[in-house]
Amino acid sequence: MEYLKHIQKAIDYIEENLQQDIDLAACAKVSGYSQYHFLRVFKYVTELTPADYIRKRRLSEIAKEIVKGNEFISDIAYKYGFNSKENFIRAFKSEHHILPTEYKKVENSLKSYERIAFETTDFSVTAKIVSLPSIKLTVYKSDEDYTPNFWNRYNAKKLSLKLSGGRTVMDYGVCVWNENDKKLDYYIGIKTQQANGDISNTHELLISGGLHALFPTPPTTHSNFVNTIHKTWNYICNKWLPQSDYKYTGGYQFECYVEQSRIFSEDIYIPIERKIK
């Protein structure tokens, strides 16, 4: 598609100038479109306005540099065009629902927005069919519309340690479709047997045992961990389930990992049964 080549030129220009003032008229000129058509086509192919793309990319690069710990947060933000500490804090919290200082303290895995490249390779994960016993979890219910933001708050506020009484344990993220409210309910917590700390404002979930498809996400980096999780879920829902001999039973789906392990891989479990042929 010819228009992708034009937008790719604009993206390349943006990426080369993330630490400079970026003029949308210059982006349009690089793409070969008028500014009016550039804005329309860019939004069509990326689902973002150019301004939103630039903001998300700058915040993602700033997050990477914060983890390195070599500069003051305000200096990094200024380098990427935020003219005041307050503006940066407001933008970061709006994007991730935690403060940049909270992120620096725990270095949790944020949902970053990586450079768009229209030529992508196929993504796949090898599933393993396993039989699991029932699992009882003590969890918090998400009040966020966007799941990564709930994980951000859970990790930044060290709620896993609060639940466990200070011990490092496996965290579980659990989702199930709520038919009454027509939305996905999401929960995060730990095994009930390990919940020896403060369990106020929590719920108990029982994940029924049985046949599950296990998908280990490919090991990746701190900055790309959440993106890899999303790619794995997309592969499961749009490729593996439609093409496999199994179907989703409708029960709790869950993902588990230890954030403090710094391995940046997790296991995703889908309750399944064989399709009737």
Domain boundaries, the chain: 2-106, 128-274
Q: What is the pTM of this model?
A: 0.88
CB proximity list for 84: less than 8 A, separation 6 or greater? none
Give the C-alpha distances (Å, rounded to integers) separating 210 from 81, 171, 270, 276: 52, 20, 10, 18
CATH of 128-274 given 2.30.40.10, 3.40.190.10, 3.30.70.270, 3.20.80.10: 3.20.80.10
How does pLDDT run across 198-222, given as a tens digit for each residue?
Answer: 999 999 999 999 999 999 999 998 8
How does pLDDT run across 254-263, given as a tens digit for each residue?
Answer: 999 998 788 8
CA–CA separation, 256 and 265 (whole Å): 9
Q: What pLDDT sits at residue 194?
A: 98
CA–CA separation, 127 and 216 (whole Å): 8
Higher pLDDT: 172 or 262? It is: 172
Give the C-alpha distances (Å, rounded to integers) separating 153 from 24, 134, 191, 237, 272: 34, 28, 19, 26, 31
Which of 132, 124, 103, 94 is CA-nearest to residue 209? Answer: 132
CATH classification (class only), 2-106: mainly alpha
Q: What pLDDT sits at residue 118?
A: 77
Structure confidence at residue 116 as a pLDDT band (50, 70, 90): confident
